[in-house]
Chain A
Amino acid sequence: MAAHLSPPPDPQFVLRGTQSPVHALHFCRGAQAQGCPLLFSGSQDGLVHIWSLQTRRAVAALDGHGGQCVTWLQTLPQGHQLLSQGRDLKLCLWDLAEGRNTVVDSVRLESVGFCKSAILAGGQPRWTLAVPGKASDEVQILEMPSKTSVCTLKPEADAKPGMPMCLGLWQADSSPRPLLLAGYEDGSVALWDISERKMCSHVSCHEEPVMGLDFDPEKARGVSGSAGKALAVWSLDGRQALQVHGTHELTNAGVAEVAIRPDRRVLATAGWDHRVRVFHWRTMRPLAVLASHSAAVQCVAFAATGGLLAAGSKDQRISVWSLYPP
């Protein structure tokens, strides 16, 4: 096997200039239609950089988190609006239309935790936001843009899963009920029914805290990565019960984030071992190990179309890869 190793693939290009470790990445979806794709990156020094993938240069840097690490980025499908979450306990909503780069709204967060937020947004003006709650084990659901609290999801007293570490919101096509997936500090993943405010299912996947999860509603299958050496693949049956499907041993411990490509063909993990690993999502066969960073990879993101993958690392670089273009 070792004798037949093909040369390691190269990134298509590397974005430099954040001058600070990169913690969050997100490909802009709205503007892509206009042929000028953008990538957002959030870094430890609190800046959000907007990168033009056409010129491969930063077109703007947004400073809204008072120098505190930006941990999560997301755009709204309606248009030029960007959400950024920072360690300054603030979630900012930016208006980016027509070159404006201004905070139009912000949500005060109550928890210092590591948990990244999640949104559920369709074409409607109203959308749902899940953020870490006030108590350390809570998740708060807000209706946006009015910022009205819908509910607080708190595990039962005897469960003690610890802090939520990562969240995922989705809504099945067949059902109007929004669901929330949460990975917890004790290595378990839970499914919440938001309308009923109850935990539908709770399954232990990892020995270490869950660091990232992603869910494929079509196959009703999800994947989570933890601080440990394994990836867990779990599925959801018709009765909304989570079942661990299998675990996949990794060479080195520590996954900061997992992401399934929008076309649900491949899965990428951000490894603390400086590497991005790519798997075939259906079979979980390892496809590639992308080594170009010199420090832990802290986030990965896929573009909606075109097969671009971006990885952000503690080494202050963002590598952009073109993988198995669809």
Chain B
Amino acid sequence: MAVFDTPEEAFGVLRPVCVQLTKTQTVENVEHLQTQLQAVSDTALQELQQYILFPLRFTLKTPGPKRERLIQSVVECLTFVLSSTCVKEQELLQELFSELSACLYSPKSQKPAAVSEELKLAVIRGLSTLMHSAYGDIILTFYEPSILPRLGFAVSLLLALAEQEKSKQIKIAALKCLQVLLLQCDCQDHPRSLDELEQQQLGDLFASFLPGVSTALTRIITGDFKQGHSIVVSSLKIFYKTVSFIMADEQLKRISKVQAKPAVEHRVAELMVHREANWVKNTGDKLTILIKKIIECVSVHPHWKVRLELVGLVEELLLRCSQSLVESAGPILKALVGLVNDESPEVQARCNKVLRHFADQQVVVGNKAFADILSESLHSLATSLPRLMNSEDDQGKFSTLSLLFGYLKLLGPKVNFVLNSVAHLQRLSKALIQVLELDVADIKIVEERRWNSDDLNASPKTATQPWNQMQRRYFRFFTDERIFLLLRQVCQLLGYYGNLYLLVDHFMELYHESVVYRKQAAMILNELVTGAAGLEVEDLHEKHIKTSPEELREIVTSILEEYTSQENWYLVTCMEAEEMGEELMMKESSLQAITSGAHTHQVTSFLAFSKPSPTICSMNSNIWQICIQLEGIGQFAYALGKDFRLLLMSALYPVLEKAGDQTLLISQVATSTMVDISHACGYGSLQHLINQNSDYLVNGISLNLRHLALHPHTPKVLEVMLRNSDASLLPLVADVVQDVLVTLDQFYDKRAASFVSVLHALLAALAQWFPDTGDLGQLQEQSLGEEGSHLHRRPVTLGNSTTAEDIEQFLLNYLKEKDVADGNVSDIDNEEEEQSVPPEVDENDIRPDVEPPLPVQIQIATDVMERCIHLLSDKNLQIRLKVLRTLGGKCGDFLRSRFCKDVLPKLAGSLVTQAPISARAGPVYSHTLAFKLQLAVLQGLGPLCETLDLGEGDLNKVADACLIYLSAKQPVKLQEAARSVFLHLMKVDPDSTWLLLNELHCPVQFTPPHPSLRPVRLRSAPEQQNPYLANVRLLLRELQ
């Protein structure tokens, strides 16, 4: 671009313009000069620098009033020259500096002259450019004591501009310029760093400005948030750079006690500052006030870049002025820790970087003063924490807790100084306990139930998917989820750095002290352990020795023992009646049924008033207590990892028990705890976890069976275990079954129902583990079924074309099949008997006089069935039917004869005798016990007939007894139940059922398939009065 490369050429062009300007000082001439200058190369310009500057400086210096516009254009032109050239002479530099500063000087006042904003901006830029154009070491010679008055003038001028100007642009430019003047420019044009002596001289010089600079900047920084973040950021930067330069410990320690006499005139000498101890102390005190103000204001500044700069301040001041500004260390550290949890990730990251840097340099821990200050701050924070937690809003709580978190993080292992003080530990814990108080008014928690209590293992199955989240909890004193997170982090840090024994003891005491504290204390204990394991804690103190795994296990063991103890684990979470299970309900209701009609209502009221019922709130609180403890167990597992396996012997049983709890929340949390445990211990699935630790479960089950009244849910745990086990556990199962049966023998009257379901589960498990080796039985059954349906279909296929031979053949076939079938059935029975005894038993047994011992599974089954026989005569009908179903489902053959001989006649008899009564009864009858009995028997008979595979005679007995209930005179519910019996009978023996029904009522006329056969006469009653009509029709339609 440059057209004139040599000075000679350039001179030729510039000379007339310069002369012109010197003669006539107008804006146009200045602009003309600037235009010409643009065509001159930098080297030529440098040669002609003084020559070109002359008319410009002349214009500025010319006395008399001047137009602002002219001055502005001169300054701009000057700036242009300076930006392309270097100032090589100290004198020129100082003169230009003075001349430029003077442009803004107002002779009347201390304030900047009231000139246009454009001019101000031009001058500020000019100054900035000038300082940058100083060549090499010239800049250092500039800062000699004699410049002090002029420099001071410029500094105050710039400060005034930065503070008072309206234009943001000017403010920024003024601050930038100030930065340059104070030699803190962060641009790339300052290659050389200062040596010690130079630093000291500059420090001495700048020290004179410190009061002015620091107070003015503080005013700017703590000004309105609306002034824009960049101004605050620049001011902050200048503030801490200046302070850290002048107050640098490095410099101060070398300063001699006596001031060397400066070789300057008296006026200037007066301005000079000697930075001796006293001065440092006084200045430090004053700065502390300013720093506090700044931190107070900036730490809550809405713009993150400002807070980010605050971290810079902290770093700079703590690193460079830790001694001179020791008084400020408290607030500075507080600012830092307060920002550790800043909402802006940038600030957080910077904070953590600084913290790590400090830790590496041992800035805090290595510095006793800092550690003391931090401990002191933590002390005072602990003192005020309960009050703050009580009075502050969520935002306030969040910042207070952030501060606490930061202190803990920074103090690291030294946190124990504070914890060892009983008073402070108490304060701290009181605050945590207080703020963590849960809101337990939510009634839904109590209400929500797991209804399918039979299918206990349904939840573990679904839970193989990752458990999504911790149950949302509601706190009394805050709603912000971040606060809870922060509290957890605080507790984890305490657990990580603090003396774990001390903390656990302390919170365990609170746990014991009152129900009011218990949940919070448990939450805190859980986090302490998680923290102690150091899995989620970012450690700034690398030399910190963690709690050893053995110690941690010991501590966890003791907490676990406490959590699962009788009084902390078995809390009332629902109304007593539900808890006791259905059998009690049954008793109550039957009792009521006798005395009154409207029993359901009475039962509930009776139960409600019979005991001082726990309030919803206390039950809700208990539910949470259990959930928190369950979660804790999951966290313990997480903390201990595979080491937790050693605790499974005491932890697994209680958790599994809760997985079957009726309260939805508890069972969900327990299930997720199981998932946590199996992850932590390295089991692939819940089933593995249960299966491989069945011995521990069995131990728990068998011990608890000894005190069944205290542990009513024990059978449920066994049930779950059985469902998740396989044949390899047979010896263990055989062992515990003995306990179960012995206990059952003691509790026939009270808890039979829960045992029957265990026995059911047991037989189901046995049947599954040892599948019937003789599939013959099933095959036979199938073929029989086919034959049955074959026979059944036969009448339909017998069309008109049927011949006599067909009929003869049919009859012959029928007789033959009947024979074979009869013969086969008995054969198969024998075969089955033989096959159920494994052959190796016979081989091993040498003594012929001793009966071969039965295989274990068969022995178990026999034992179970013997007990069930007793239960068949239980007073409680529900249990009788449950037993029958249990046995019927799993061992039909065994039971059939017994059922037919003893049970069926009684059931049938009772149905027959009750039928006339129910047929006559009014609507109230459906509320009586008698009705319920009838209904239960009718509902139960059908499935039994089918599963027991009853013979023809017994089926007839059943059919006869139920037939009467098909009458329209019977209550509708009984009719329905009776129909269900027949539906089952149809499956067992369709032909005879068909015949029986047709004898009651025959909707179609039968024509014989062959004329040689006589027409069939069925003795059905006439249609009009036939009360069976409707039901029979319904059933026959099913048969078609």
Residues of A within 8 A of B (CB): 7-8, 10-11, 13-14, 16-17, 19, 54-57, 292, 294, 315-317
Contacts and interface: CB of A to CB of B under 8 A. Distances in A.
A10 B646 CA distance: 21
A8 B707 CA distance: 10
B821 interface: no
A54 B647 CA distance: 10
Interface string B684-722: 000000000001101100110011000000000000000
B549 interface: no
Interface of A is mostly: loop
B738 interface: yes
18 contacts: A8-B706, A10-B707, A11-B703, A13-B699, A14-B699, A14-B702, A16-B695, A16-B699, A16-B731, A16-B732, A16-B735, A54-B646, A55-B645, A55-B646, A55-B649, A56-B696, A292-B706, A316-B735
A55 B696 CA distance: 9
Nearest to A58: B695
B698 A294 contact: no
Contact of A10 (B706, B735, B742): B706
Contacts of B698: 16
Contacts of A56: 649, 695-696, 699
Contacts of B703: 10-11, 13-14
Interface of B is mostly: helix
A126 to B, nearest CB: 38
Given A16-B698, A56-B649, A316-B735, 19 more contacts: A7-B707, A8-B706, A10-B703, A10-B706, A10-B707, A13-B649, A13-B703, A16-B695, A16-B731, A16-B732, A54-B646, A55-B645, A55-B649, A56-B695, A56-B696, A56-B699, A294-B738, A294-B742, A315-B738
B696 A17 contact: no
A146 B695 CA distance: 43
A57 B648 CA distance: 12
Nearest to A19: B731
Contacts, number: 37
A14 B707 CA distance: 16
Contact of B731 (A8, A10, A14, A17): A17
A19 B856 CA distance: 11
Contacts of A315: 738
Contact of A17 (B646, B732, B742): B732
Contact of A57 (B695, B702, B738): B695
Interface string B410-452: 0000000000000000000000000000000000000000000
Nearest to A55: B646
Interface in B719-752: 731-732, 735, 738, 742
Which A-B residue pairs are the 4 nearest by beta carbons?
A16-B735, A13-B699, A10-B703, A19-B731
Contacts of A14: 699, 702-703
A25 to B, nearest CB: 18
Nearest to A56: B649
A54 to B, nearest CB: 6
Contacts of B707: 7, 10
B657 to A, nearest CB: 17
Interface of B: 645-646, 649, 695-696, 698-699, 702-703, 706-707, 731-732, 735, 738, 742
Nearest to A291: B706
A7 B706 CA distance: 10
Nearest to B698: A16
B695 A17 contact: yes
Nearest to A35: B550
Contacts of B738: 294, 315
Contacts of B732: 16-17
A316 to B, nearest CB: 7
Contacts of B646: 54-55
Contacts of A10: 703, 706-707
A54 B742 CA distance: 29
A93 to B, nearest CB: 30
A133 B638 CA distance: 59
B601 to A, nearest CB: 39
Nearest to A316: B735
Contacts of A7: 707
A2 B735 CA distance: 31
A225 B738 CA distance: 30
A10 B699 CA distance: 11
Contacts of A13: 649, 699, 703
A39 B703 CA distance: 21
Contacts of A17: 695, 731-732
A19 B706 CA distance: 22
A65 B703 CA distance: 33
Contacts of A19: 731
B714 to A, nearest CB: 13
A14 B695 CA distance: 9
A322 to B, nearest CB: 13
A56 B645 CA distance: 12
Contacts of B649: 13, 55-56
A10 B742 CA distance: 16
Contacts of A16: 695, 698-699, 731-732, 735
Nearest to B694: A16
A142 to B, nearest CB: 36
A221 to B, nearest CB: 35
Contacts of A54: 646
B222 to A, nearest CB: 63
A305 B146 CA distance: 89
A32 to B, nearest CB: 16
B627 to A, nearest CB: 28
Nearest to B649: A56
Contacts of B735: 16, 316-317
A294 B645 CA distance: 30
A163 B646 CA distance: 47
A16 B649 CA distance: 14
B843 to A, nearest CB: 16
A150 B866 CA distance: 59
A16 B731 CA distance: 9
A11 B699 CA distance: 10
A14 B700 CA distance: 9
Contacts of B699: 13-14, 16, 56
A16 B697 CA distance: 12
A56 to B, nearest CB: 6
A4 B746 CA distance: 21
A17 B646 CA distance: 19
A247 B544 CA distance: 63
B480 to A, nearest CB: 45
Contacts of A57: 695
A17 B698 CA distance: 11
A187 to B, nearest CB: 34
Nearest to A315: B738
A316 B856 CA distance: 14
Nearest to B739: A294
A317 B698 CA distance: 12
A294 B702 CA distance: 12
B706 to A, nearest CB: 6
A10 B708 CA distance: 13
A8 B710 CA distance: 14
A258 B414 CA distance: 56
A15 B956 CA distance: 53
A53 B42 CA distance: 91
Nearest to A18: B731
A7 B703 CA distance: 13
B175 to A, nearest CB: 68
Nearest to A52: B646
